[in-house]
Amino acid sequence: MKKTNFDNYLEEQLQDPAFAARFERAGEAWDVALQIAALRKQAGISQQELAKRLKISQQQISRLESPGYEGHSLSTLRRVAKVLNARVRVVFEPETPKSGLHVREAAAGYPLKKG
């Protein structure tokens, strides 16, 4: 697959450790938001219904499903998971190796890049 201008730009920006750290944190928040929304939809319930079951506001559910939100508490995530018949798993992993392999790739079973 040919690299786009954006791919090249992102690769260049990721060389900056501060940018790379912000990018990784944003990806983590995005993952949580997408998982909550997907589980809720799989359960066939609306944000309003999930909020009612959790005894919180629909706006709070919307916030939890927002990729930019980083204020998820473990207790809230556990409550959401229980209602959606899921479980929360927190994994601490070593920092990303300098080879360019992202932590998520390693966790997904991708082979380690050498170099």
Give this prediction's pTM: 0.64
Amino acid 12: pLDDT? 85
Amino acid 72 reads: H
Using left for φ > 0, alpha for ψ between -120 and 50, and beta otherwise, residue 18 falls in alpha
Kindly list the structural domains of the chain, giving each domain's residue range(s) and its CATH number in brackets, ordered by start: 5-89 (1.10.260.40)
pLDDT, one tens digit for every residue, the chain (115 residues): 777 886 787 688 778 888 777 667 666 777 889 899 999 999 999 999 999 999 999 999 999 999 888 888 999 999 999 999 999 998 888 876 655 545 455 445 544 444 4
